[in-house]
Amino acid sequence: MTGTRGVDTPLDVLFISNMYPSEADPAVGIFVRRQAEALSRTGAIVRRVVNRDQRKGIVFALGKYPVLLVKAVVAGLRGADVVVAHYLYPTAIIARITAAIARCPYVLVAHGTDVGSVARGGAVARSARSAVTRAALVVCVSNALESRLVNELELPPGVQTAVVHMGVDLAVFKPNNAARAQLGWSTDERIVLFVGNPIEAKGIDVLLEATASLLRSGAIDRLDIVGHHPLNSGPMALASELGVADRVAFSGRGPAEDIALRMSAADVFVLPSRVEGLGMVLLEAMACGTPCVGSRVGGIPEALPAPRCGRLVEPDDPGALAAAISEVLDIGKPSFSNACIEAASAQGTDAQAARFLEHVRRAISDPPPEG
């Protein structure tokens, strides 16, 4: 029985995620994979049931989520001490069913936009909300997301919540003085970097407008956008419309080592999001010694300790974003680097996994909620 397990007894964790890296898309759900690996290093027995098919659309959804459910239920037949499921929509439903099969509690992890998905209308969202209220624990990646979860979903008092993010791979994300030479970047260029999915929620349009202003004033030389998807032509079209296409580099998101190299080489990292659960890329950039500029939304102010590691600005304000980038560049990267590295040093994946496991053990020491 779960409640009788001591702190030195390895937990049997059935680990479920509807987003997980694949050869086709090695970046999707990368933080989830890192946590699974870190939990294994703590001594937990981690059995993974994950979805690597990230194709969009109702046709694919009707196939991949039932398959994920079947795989999870089959794994649940072996029993477990706890089911840990990432992303509330629709994985909370799968976690609830699987935990009932495995006769154990379940823990859910909310990452950001999934909270909004669960809060909307529709049968799937209602079912997911119900599953959230029956979880032994709901873990959020930031305090801001926890507040949003409690308020938007109107969680009953008995639902436990905790704040733990997935952690930074400090073995990969670290300063590299040879990064520019390895990338073939000029030492004289002032380069702004963005890493992420260039969608509306990330504020990529705001960044491009700010970039146009900064290029006109001569404050920067180039913007490097990593994570561009070939089917999303909007950002490239906007860059062309703004007349900066020749000074903006678009590339797909490669392995973590390549991202870390670019983060070390850049002068400033920018995350101008409109919505953000935490902004893990900010912690990764800081671990590389690079100052950041981010929007004052969601968990970004928790991830980015301004002003010692960069600047925070209001979202949807290209002028303020351009001014903040220019200010950081004027002060100079060396003035921020030590503070950035120090701030990120306590945010390693293993340390966060240990914290996560402490919360899980505490939550499942009580009988799981009925229903």
Tell me, what's the pLDDT at 180?
97
Tell me, what's the pLDDT at 1?
40
Looking at 3.40.50.2300, 3.90.1010.10, 3.40.50.2000, 3.30.70.1730, the CATH number of the domain 179-345 comes to 3.40.50.2000
Q: What is the pLDDT along the chain (371 residues), one digit of tens a residue?
A: 444 455 568 999 999 999 998 887 888 889 999 999 999 999 999 999 999 887 776 756 678 899 999 999 999 999 999 999 999 999 999 999 999 999 999 999 999 889 989 988 899 999 999 999 999 999 999 999 999 999 888 888 888 999 999 999 999 999 999 999 999 999 999 999 999 988 899 999 999 999 999 999 999 999 999 988 776 789 999 999 999 999 999 998 888 999 999 999 999 999 999 999 999 999 999 999 999 999 999 999 999 999 999 999 999 999 999 999 999 999 999 999 999 999 999 999 999 999 999 999 999 986 545 54
- Domain 2-166+349-364 of CATH type 3.40.50.2000: yes
Tell me, what's the pLDDT at 4?
46
Q: Are strands 106-110 and 310-313 parallel, antiparallel or unpaired?
A: unpaired
Q: Which of 305, 302, 33 is nearest to 163 (CA)?
A: 302
CA distances from 138 to 100, 110, 233, 354, 357 (A): 17, 7, 37, 16, 13
CA distance 94 to 127: 10
Distance from the Cα of residue 58 to its chain's centroid: 24
Which 3 state secondary structure label does DSSP give 293?
strand
Tell me, what's the pLDDT at 233?
83
Domain with CATH 3.40.50.2000 in the chain: 2-166+349-364, 179-345
Tell me, what's the pLDDT at 249?
95
Tell me, what's the pLDDT at 354?
96
Tell me, what's the pLDDT at 236?
93
Q: What is the largest CA-CA distance in the chain?
A: 66
